A and B are shown apart, each in its own frame.
Chain A
Amino acid sequence: MIFSRIHFATLLIATAAASMPAAAQSTASLPSKPGAVVTTPHVRAELIAHAPDGVTPGAPVWVGLQITHQPEWHTYWKNAGDSGLPTEMTWTLPAGVSTGEIAWPVPKKIPVGSLANYGYENTVLLPVPLEVSTLYKPPVALGGTPAMDIQLKASWLVCRKECIPEEGTFTLPLPLQGSTALHKAEFDAAAAAQPQPLAKPGAVEVDGHNLKVRLEGLPAAVQGKTLGFFPETPEVIRTAAVSGKDWTQSWQGGTWTATMPLADQRSASPTVMPLVVALPEADRQAGQPVAWRAEAPVTGSWPAGAAPRAEVSPALQAALTANAANAATSPTELPAPSSTTFMAALLGALLGGLLLNLMPCVFPILAIKVLGFARQAGNASAHRKAGLAYTGGVILSFLALGGGMLALRAAGAGLGWGFQLQSPGVVAALAALFTLIGLNLVGVFEFGRAAPSSVCSAQAKHPLANDFLSGVLAVVIASPCSAPFMGASMGFAIGLPAAQALLLFVALGFGLALPYLLAGFVPAVAHLLPKPGPWMHTLRRLLAFPMFATVAWLVWVLGQQSGIDGAGTLLALLVCLAAIVWAFTLRGRTRVVIATVLIGFTAVLTATIGRNVLQVVEPAKLASAQGTAGQRWQPWSAERVAELSGAGQPVFIDFTAAWCVTCQYNKKSTLADTQVLADFDAKKVAMLRADWTRRDPAITAALTALGRSGVPVYVLQAPGKPPVVLTEILGKDEVRAALAAL
């Protein structure tokens, strides 16, 4: 409606102007007439001119749009601030005539709630210089005074609380001879409101999330005054920042300095910032400059507006790069994320699962399965079924884990691979489970005797259930071992839609189960297995020891979480458990009496000191208990990293956890190597350790930022360079090469 009204008015005005005879114009002045005025409910806009010496090459000729706002309404400066748009002007001029830039008068800051804009209220004139070259051929006047027709199409956004975009077309015949000086006062006022150029460019320094501005050469009369600050570049500072509260300014002699906050969502990072400072309106004096302008070069580095996306592992990065190349040829209508990337991630997960078999924490399971195959040697069908059942167990467990992760992700919990071992309760339960398995292998008890006969018969009827359950067990035990490829795949899975994330888990599980599946289906593999015999009993006893070793490790993990009291209590309870299990193997009355006594004792023990196991010791307390862990490693925190990086020191971060075997291996081998450590010292690298043994949201967030969801992760970060993420199995040569590249 507004548009149509404007257009109608413009049309009316234009028609009227065209019909107005040029002869009616006075040579001394140019009255405002239809054709040069557009009136809307919010503004009266008029195209006016100032040509005191007529329109000839070299003579000063100014034209300008004068906007008179209704009370409370405003239009905008060249930098509109938080919202709004600068007024735009498009000129239509005869050949040989051109315009310069709009000479924007100093604006005022207009706060709008939590936002602020720069603009004009009341009446403002936006002057534009006209340059008439010698190429300009004046029209031949058929009668009266020759005039140059200038046309302006202008659009402006006028706002109070609401905003109305408006536009208008203006025409003005400018007499070539004589003087057009009716609007001298308005043009003089606009010139007086122009910022005066400063002799020195000033300086702008980016300091963290602040901008430090330094201007020199301001006149003595303004020194000590509180100035208004107007950057011409939009989207750099927080426009709504209040002087004296959010930003400060001070004077040292004739030098004005100010510190103001950068915009949180800054989208401009200029190398030169044109700035305007202005006296407050109360301090302005007629005939004196009111504002000054400088074009200050910017030093310092802008904080990253767009933080780099997660640092992915080299394998995944390669896949992403390949995908980016593919994306150029294929349409962007791809499922999230692209299928190529996803296939790479699936392959990575499969390889990760395969490698998981070689990890120390899965090895006991490998042993159990070898034993199982040995028992059934020669029965190809049984092998096949066993392989399938085991695979089913592994994959379903991975799906359950994945489902759990998705559920927790939906609940907003930040977590990653191995998270289940961050809970002391889970660690204690696993220790108990492994103790039982170890005792069974050693021969203290048989499952057949300890379990009710119904379960025994169920097992006998369903031998596949055993294989299925061993698959489940394999997954539970494999969790702490974050094999290569797996970290990246898991990090990838966390950001995926549910179905794809679950598919990744299936791939991991399939990788883990693949060797057994092969052994089941390819007879050659199964035939390689030794025949059953007395050696099996020896092997079974032998296999108990990896189980007990796992228990020892789990107790150590719990010690990290619950302290020495927790570990001690757990050991005591495990002894009780072993005794109870043994008691059940006895016969008759003895069995009842001893078992009852042992269970009673265990119950009392659990009631009195059991909570030691589940308590989580504060890291600080733990740190002091550990005593001199060495000056070399400092505890990690994001602040500490920022502090060190700020001081120009390279930083090496070891994301680790007590329950992560790979981490411990790296810690004892590469990270304890004297040559490697000497290299670290030579480069003056600060070494930080982020211990994820207990759940720590800060570390989880940092890992997520690296595109990982498990440990170990090793990051070498030098100031001004992208962080280098090293491989999970840390090689001495790799670390030394990375250090040498600093």
Chain B
Amino acid sequence: MSLSPSTDSRSRRAARHARAALSRASRRAVVAAAVALGATFLMGSNAAAAPAVGQQAPDFVAVDTSGAKHKLSDFAGKFVVLEWTNPGCPFVRKHYGSGNMPATQKAATDKGVVWLAINSTERAATDYLKPDALDAWMKSQKGAPTAVLMDEDGLIGQVYGARTTPHIFIIDPKGTLVYAGGIDSIASARSDDIKTATNYVNQALGEAFGGKPISAATTRPYGCSIKYKT
């Protein structure tokens, strides 16, 4: 007895879907395990505290919106900017809609800086975007990060002590955290304030590239609370 052709193709398709799902799940599990391992390592060394400026930036592995894996330590020798983002947040929209964030990203990446946008919004949040949707949004905003990383489990965000969107961290070529704080100096949701605010990221990178110490190395981040998985 043989299966009818239609049943056969359906079962084959089902099997293929199952395999694809399994491979996605296993890839995710591997990455999550790697990230968790990194997080555990860090916590062991520093009693669950987020790194202070001047300390070693914890290493992590994350998958970007196109499924490629990125490891922070692979970027050793370069400045790395971590930008916590969430398109659902009005403060993120302020800086993307006005073109401020894309311009800041472009100025940095033009200098050879690696810019990683990270989304730590949990899957259950109303404004969670799937990788392809987030990628499409970033493209629609003319965003220019090196990669957009998914951190739905919030491990990277929690390890860094990221609190708001946006929240910016800068890591120097030696892997030291040299800046933690806001995108600029005027905490508001008004786009008009951007032109009078000091862009802390441009300032910090400019000083670092000029061989000067970073004058504002920790500032207050402002924006929406990151919706971490609880």
- Taking Cβ atoms with an 8 Å cutoff, the residues of A that contact B are 82-85, 112-115, 117, 155, 157, 159, 161-165, 234-235, 264-268, 303-310, 320, 323-324, 327, 332-338, 341, 406, 409-410, 412, 494-498, 501, 701, 704
Contact = CB atoms under 8 A, between A and B. Distances in A.
B88 A162 contact: yes
Interface centre among A84, A155, A267, A497 (most CB of B within 10 A): A267
B146 to A, nearest CB: 15
B213 A117 contact: no
20 contacts: A113-B228, A113-B230, A114-B158, A155-B190, A161-B227, A162-B88, A162-B126, A163-B223, A264-B51, A265-B218, A267-B181, A303-B52, A304-B54, A305-B53, A307-B52, A335-B112, A336-B173, A409-B76, A498-B77, A701-B56
A155 B79 contact: no
A-B pairs with the 10 shortest C-beta distances? A307-B54, A165-B189, A306-B217, A267-B218, A327-B210, A264-B50, A83-B225, A495-B173, A163-B224, A332-B206
Interface string B196-226: 0000000000100111111001111111111
B49 A264 contact: yes
B76 A85 contact: no
B225 A265 contact: no
Contacts of B59: 412
B62 to A, nearest CB: 16
Contacts of B49: 264
B64 to A, nearest CB: 19
Given A113-B228, A163-B90, A336-B111, A266 B218 contact: yes
Nearest to B218: A267
B162 to A, nearest CB: 10
B159 to A, nearest CB: 11
A337 B206 CA distance: 10
Given A155-B188, A265-B161, A704-B174, A114 B76 contact: no
A59 to B, nearest CB: 35
B219 A267 contact: yes
Contacts of B210: 323-324, 327, 332, 334, 337-338
Contacts of A704: 174
A706 B213 CA distance: 15
A332 B203 CA distance: 10
A307 B209 contact: no
A117 B206 contact: no
A162 B224 contact: yes
Nearest to A312: B211
B55 interface: yes
Given A306-B218, A412-B76, A83 B163 contact: yes
B228 A85 contact: no
A306 B54 contact: yes
B163 A115 contact: yes
B34 to A, nearest CB: 13
Contacts of A159: 224-225
A305 B111 contact: no
B201 to A, nearest CB: 13
B185 to A, nearest CB: 11
A339 to B, nearest CB: 11
Interface centre among B163, B178, B218 (most CB of A within 10 A): B163
Interface of B: 49-56, 59, 73-74, 76-79, 88-91, 111-112, 125-127, 158, 161, 163-164, 172-174, 178, 180-181, 187-190, 206, 209-214, 217-230
A359 B190 CA distance: 64
A308 B54 CA distance: 7
A329 B33 CA distance: 50
Interface centre among A264, A265, A501 (most CB of B within 10 A): A265
Contacts of A307: 52-55
Contact of A85 (B54, B88, B126, B222): B222
Contacts of B190: 155, 165
Contacts of A84: 225
A723 B206 CA distance: 26
Contacts of B222: 83, 85
Contacts of A494: 77, 174
A265 B73 contact: no
Contacts of B206: 332
Nearest to A82: B163
B77 A501 contact: yes
Nearest to B189: A165
Nearest to A266: B218
Contacts of A113: 225, 227-230
Given A163-B90, A410-B76, A495-B173, A308 B213 contact: yes
B211 A338 contact: yes
A701 B56 CA distance: 9
Nearest to A84: B225
Contact of B53 (A265, A338, A495, A498): A265
B189 A157 contact: yes
A112 B227 CA distance: 8
Contacts of B73: 410, 412
B54 A162 contact: no
Given A163-B225, A338-B211, A265 B76 contact: no
Contacts of A335: 111-112
A497 to B, nearest CB: 6
B160 to A, nearest CB: 9
Contacts of A323: 210-211
Contact of A496 (B54, B173, B212, B225): B173
Contacts of A303: 52
A496 to B, nearest CB: 7
A310 B219 CA distance: 21
Contacts of B51: 264
A335 B205 CA distance: 12
Contacts of A112: 225
A83 B164 contact: yes
Contact of B225 (A82, A165, A495): A82
Contact of A309 (B50, B213, B223): B213
Nearest to B125: A161
B104 to A, nearest CB: 14
B227 to A, nearest CB: 6
Nearest to A305: B218
Given A85-B188, A115-B163, A338-B211, A497 B54 contact: no
Nearest to A166: B189
A409 B77 contact: yes
Nearest to B90: A165
Contact of A410 (B74, B88, B112, B224): B74
A605 B172 CA distance: 50
A623 B56 CA distance: 30
B154 to A, nearest CB: 8
Given A161-B225, A497-B112, 8 more contacts: A165-B189, A267-B181, A305-B54, A306-B54, A306-B214, A338-B210, A497-B77, A497-B78
A412 B77 CA distance: 11
A704 B213 CA distance: 17
Nearest to A412: B73
Nearest to A269: B218
Contacts of B76: 409-410, 412
B52 to A, nearest CB: 5
A253 to B, nearest CB: 33
Contacts of B189: 85, 155, 157, 165
A264 B77 contact: no
A265 B50 contact: yes
Contacts of A235: 218, 220
Contacts of A267: 180-181, 218-220
Contact of A305 (B52, B112, B173, B225): B52
A613 B112 CA distance: 45
A83 B213 contact: no
